[in-house]
Amino acid sequence: MKLKIEEKPYLPNGRHIVQITEVEEGRSENKDVPFINCRLENEEGFINQRFYLSEPGQPILASFLKAAGIEKTAMDSRELKGKTLSVEVEERTYEDSEGKEKTIKQATHFETVGQVNTSDRF
């Protein structure tokens, strides 16, 4: 059997410099909350990260936008495409709406490219 793989693997856990290559808009399946989904990738692989446009999601989105070099309070989500930032990839386990345990990979701890985290030095 011949296998043809045209997709990159998921990024391994750890810190990565990534570029935003795709931005999609949607609504959550359970609570109909609007979100944007960003594909973050580099030569090693990719990760998709969803940002909910709800009040609890605002600080997370603000941190992501700041790391991507965007200081505006209002913008078109398409402006994110092509921006570069540093993210930490990790796994998180949670209970879904049906009570089933799920584990996902997520991007967190967003930083501007070139920014040094002094807590990592020691």
Other Cβ atoms less than 10 A from the Cβ of 1: the count is 2
Q: What tokens does 67 get?
A: 């790391």
- For residue 46, what are the CA distances in angstroms to 29, 60, 81, 96, 120? 23, 20, 14, 24, 23
pLDDT-derived band at 115, boundaries 50, 70, 90: low
pLDDT tens for 2-50 read 877 788 999 999 999 999 999 999 999 888 999 999 999 999 999 999 9
21: tokens are 């290559």
- In DSSP terms, 88 is beta-bridged to 15, 108
Q: How many angstroms separate the Cα of 28 from the Cα of each of 37, 39, 87?
A: 11, 17, 23
Please, which residues bridge with residue 16 across strands?
A: 87
The answer, yes or no, to whether residue 111 has pLDDT greater than 90, is: yes
Sketch the domain layout of the chain as residue ranges.
14-114
Closest listed residue to residue 39, CA positions, set 31, 51, 27: 51
Q: Report percent pLDDT > 70 for the chain.
A: 93
pLDDT level of residue 117 (50, 70, 90 thresholds): low
CATH code: domain 14-114 is 2.40.50
Partners of residue 34 on adjacent β-strands:
27
